[in-house]
Amino acid sequence: MSDHALFVGGTRFIGRHAVREFRDAGYDVTTVSRGEHDNPFADDEGVAHLQGDRDDEATLGAAADRDPDVVVDDDSRETYGPRKAEGDREVFAAAERGVHATSIRPTVVYGPHDYTRRFDFWVHRVANYDRVLVPGDGNSLWHLAYVSNVARALRRAAENGDPGEAYNVGDWDLHTLEGIIRAIADELDTSVEVVTAGERELAAGGLEPTDFPLYRPSPHVLDTHRLRGLGWEPITPEEGVAETVATSPATDARAAERGPDRADEERVLGVLDTV
């Protein structure tokens, strides 16, 4: 009999890729969700679905009756900050009670089916414009995690992780924001002029640096060696960018909705041209 993994979620982005990771490893899977999104595994006999809410006792009871070997709770962004820390404390406390509980800490995740469309914004800009406006000096460094690497991390932690441990997840190599844009251009077989702008220049278009997706004013880097020690083998950022670009709606104007309006960017570019 195959091992059984239960996912709270599992139909949108990270959970969707994680379910595929576990299925490819031979697991049977049950997903629990409210049914607000299409089920990408509706035709997979190895994936059962329970519709309900994590706060509903009947739903949780039905899920527990499946007697899963692994439970993955892909929680939402609402648990950031103090609630995220509290979640870690609950995991550590559960481990002290004998539960094989671990915490997975991914940084900003990108890849196919990312509903935040943060990465799509930059693909859209590179695909449709010769000049790409970038806040700061282009060296903004935010450790990213390709979604398949997060899915692999979840399985590795489930199979080999130590109870009560927390594992950071991020790509093995890092790119600056300008480096990401250059990598996108390479995948699209094009070239762009990267135009950098400081806060004063951006203000001419009513913009701030943080209006741009994937920008951080200070570096953000995670140590992932502990996860690597479990046998986690991430794919490279180059592979991750290639797969993301291949599935990005580059010509869809909605892909650019996450960041600033192009008209505002054009005003900034116009100011820079006069300097």
> Residue 77: which pLDDT band, with cuts at 50, 70 and 90?
low
> Which CATH number characterizes residue 116's domain?
3.40.50.720
Residues 6+ away with beta carbon under 8 Å from 20: 151
Section 248-274 average pLDDT: 86
What pLDDT score does 219 carry?
Answer: 96
Within a domain: residue 157? yes
Within a domain: residue 127? yes
Name the more confident of 254 and 108. 108
Within a domain: residue 220? yes
Section 90-113 average pLDDT: 95
What pLDDT score does 22 carry?
Answer: 98
What pLDDT score does 108 carry?
Answer: 94
Within a domain: residue 91? yes
Within a domain: residue 148? yes
Within a domain: residue 25? no
What pLDDT score does 172 carry?
Answer: 92
The tokens for 97 are: 């009670």
What pLDDT score does 82 carry?
Answer: 66
pTM of the predicted model, to two decimals? 0.94
- State the residue range of the domain holding 106: 75-273
Section 228-245 average pLDDT: 96
Number of domains in the chain: 1
**End-to-end alpha carbon distance in the chain:** 70
What pLDDT score does 75 carry?
Answer: 73
